[in-house]
Structure 1
Amino acid sequence: MSSMRTGPRRILLGTIGLLVAAVFAFPTYWMITSALKPPIEVLSARYDLIPLSVSLDNFATAIAKPGFATYLTNSLIVTLGAVACSLVAGLLAAVPLARLRFRGRKGFVLLVLVAQLAPLEALFIPMYLLMKDLGLLNTLPSLLLVYFATTLPFTIWTLRGFVNGIPVELEEAAMVDGCGRWGAFRRVTLPLLGPGLVATSVFGFITAWNEFLYAFVFMRDSSKYTLPVWLESFQTAFGTDWSGAMAGAVLYSVPALVFFLLVQRKLVSGGTAGAVKG
């Protein structure tokens, strides 16, 4: 009797799940199909879910636009640099917050949470004045510092939760076997933090990769722009090149997809399950 009730319930939940997935996947599908259509079909009043003709000319046009390689390099430099710095600094802050008990620890954790909740746009003017005083405007390090400051609170908060999820008994057992505190952390805790490091790196990469406002205002030299600013170049005074913009959006999404595919195998939970009994 229970199996008869479970069957229709699973079908209903599966159907709802497929519908939700389709809703979220449709914009991506429309972007890809629009990038493969000739410009005349993109501007057509018909809603063709399947392109009548396929062309790669839009991608060639997008890549041939001035500055694509330069903007791609700039985006990779500031994004990967910000992710690397936030992981190192976040890990150095998360471990003491999770393992040590010191005065002011709860207040510092609350401060990290407040910094994470602050909207990025609200910090624009203070960040601009700070970079101006430091003489970093129109330089890539200014963007790297902004993205680092943006992703660091989330990194600390998330890694602290992952460190708390690792039983401290594992480190104590390693120290009983002869490892020092640093050796126990490097051989036991750090490998088990792989999923946390990957999750925070994916968030940091997407946040820095998609940022537009700071890159557009801080950089006065067009050679210092990043890819989000490059996407804006498809809109001109004569109109918007929608087919080229869709092709550019597809190209823009590829590095983030590649980054996720490279690190997704580390997104495995339950690595410490059963390690400690009782």
Structure 2
Amino acid sequence: MSVVRRRRLGRPSSVATVIAIVFCAVWAFPTYWMVKTAFTPRPDALSSTPTFLPLNPTLENFETAIFQAGFFDNLRSSLIVTVGAVVFAVLLGLFAAAALSRFRFGGRRTILVIVLLIQMIPGAATLIPQYLVFNEAGLLGTYAGLILAYVSMTLPFSIWMMRSFFLALPAELEEAAQLDGASTWQVLTRILFPLVLPGVIATSVFTFINAWNDYLIAYTFMKDQSMYTLPVWLASFTSPLTGTDVSGQMAASVLFSLPVVVFFVLLQRKLVTGMSAGAVKG
């Protein structure tokens, strides 16, 4: 009976399959419409009669997006702050997770609770206090300030994610290494850190996506338009005089989305492994 029940549970019903297909179609349709509009000439994109396929596909919109004022400057800004946020969030999260999981010291549980509470606070709620602090510290309008803001936004998740991987490692590994004469630093760098690589990859992807896609913090903290990031640059396709260049903006959105898609495709297997392992090994 149990075998029959397991087989029945393992076979999705036709209703569940249809629901999954409809859900995926609804979820993917905005992305399809963005790509379709990116290849549609502007007069056709503004037509009152929508078409589901570009009748006269063109690459002119991508040319418009690439040569839009500020594209290369803002692309450089996005790369600088995103890479910086990923590096610092992963490094700080890695060492903090190692300390909170492999060492015993007073106040460890209190720190974990504080980290969890910070993760639960909405980012918009801390935007104004963070702005005031950064203004007093002279970090507004600088890449360092924006990187620090992104690190503070993603660090709690990074710590909790990688801590679950450290907890899954048996203590016998450290004991064996110490018996062989390895120092604490050698145990961390040569044994523990390589074993939590899936968690590092999952954290890197999470931080990359959050930093690359952020609009609110970049728009609030940066003063010089040449130092804006690409999400803020996308707003330049809207003008009070000429309206919104829908086709150009969608082409720019496609270009903006490509790095995230490529980054995710390259690391998707290790990302799924890291997320699933982190979810069950806490």
Q: TM-score, normalised by structure 1?
A: 0.89
Q: Aligned-pair distance for 1:103?
A: 1.7
Paired with 1:12 and 1:171, the residues of 2 have a C-alpha distance of 51
Q: Aligned-pair distance for 1:131?
A: 1.6
Ranges of 4+ aligned residues in structure 1 off by more than 6 Å: none
Paired with 1:206 and 1:268, the residues of 2 have a C-alpha distance of 15
Q: SS in structure 1 opposite 2:49?
A: coil
Paired with 2:232 and 2:74, the residues of 1 have a C-alpha distance of 8
Flag the 1:18–1:194 CA change in 2: closer, same or farther, 3 A.
Answer: farther
**Does 2:188 align with 1:169?**
no
Listed as ranges, the matches of 1:198-209 within 5 Å are 198-209=201-212
Q: Aligned-pair distance for 1:29?
A: 0.9
Residue 198 of structure 1 contacts residue 264 of structure 1 at CA under 8 Å; is this kept in 2? Answer: no
Residue of 179, 191, 194 corresponding to 1:191: 194
Unaligned runs of 5+ in 1: 274-278
Listed as ranges, the matches of 1:40-51 within 5 Å are 40-51=43-54
Residue 72 of structure 1 contacts residue 226 of structure 1 at CA under 8 Å; is this kept in 2? Answer: yes
Q: SS in structure 1 opposite 2:12?
A: helix
Residue 98 of structure 1 contacts residue 164 of structure 1 at CA under 8 Å; is this kept in 2? Answer: yes
Paired with 1:38 and 1:8, the residues of 2 have a C-alpha distance of 46
Paired with 1:78 and 1:7, the residues of 2 have a C-alpha distance of 45
Residue 39 of structure 2 contacts residue 61 of structure 2 at CA under 8 Å; is this kept in 1? Answer: yes
Q: Count residues in correspondence.
A: 271
Q: Aligned-pair distance for 1:265?
A: 4.5
Paired with 2:57 and 2:44, the residues of 1 have a C-alpha distance of 10
Residue of 140, 150, 154 corresponding to 2:157: 154
**Does 2:39 align with 1:39?**
no
Residue of 208, 212, 218 corresponding to 1:215: 218
Residue 205 of structure 2 contacts residue 271 of structure 2 at CA under 8 Å; is this kept in 1? Answer: no
**Does 2:90 align with 1:90?**
no
User: Amino acid of the residue matched to residue 49 of structure 1?
Assistant: F
- 1:229-250 CA-to-partner distances (Å, cap 9, x unmatched) read 1001111103111111111110
Unaligned runs of 5+ in 2: 278-282
Residue 194 of structure 1 contacts residue 267 of structure 1 at CA under 8 Å; is this kept in 2? Answer: no
Paired with 1:208 and 1:24, the residues of 2 have a C-alpha distance of 23
Which residue of structure 2 lines up, in the alignment, with residue 276 of structure 1? none
User: Amino acid of the residue matched to residue 253 of structure 1?
Assistant: S
Q: Aligned-pair distance for 1:128?
A: 1.5
Q: Aligned-pair distance for 1:60?
A: 0.4
Paired with 1:6 and 1:105, the residues of 2 have a C-alpha distance of 43
- 1:115-146 CA-to-partner distances (Å, cap 9, x unmatched) read 11111111122122112111222222111111
Q: SS in structure 2 opposite 1:250?
A: helix
Q: SS in structure 2 opposite 1:160?
A: helix
Residue of 109, 114, 132 corresponding to 1:111: 114
Which residue of structure 2 lines up, in the alignment, with residue 123 of structure 1? 126
Root-mean-square deviation (Å): 2.3
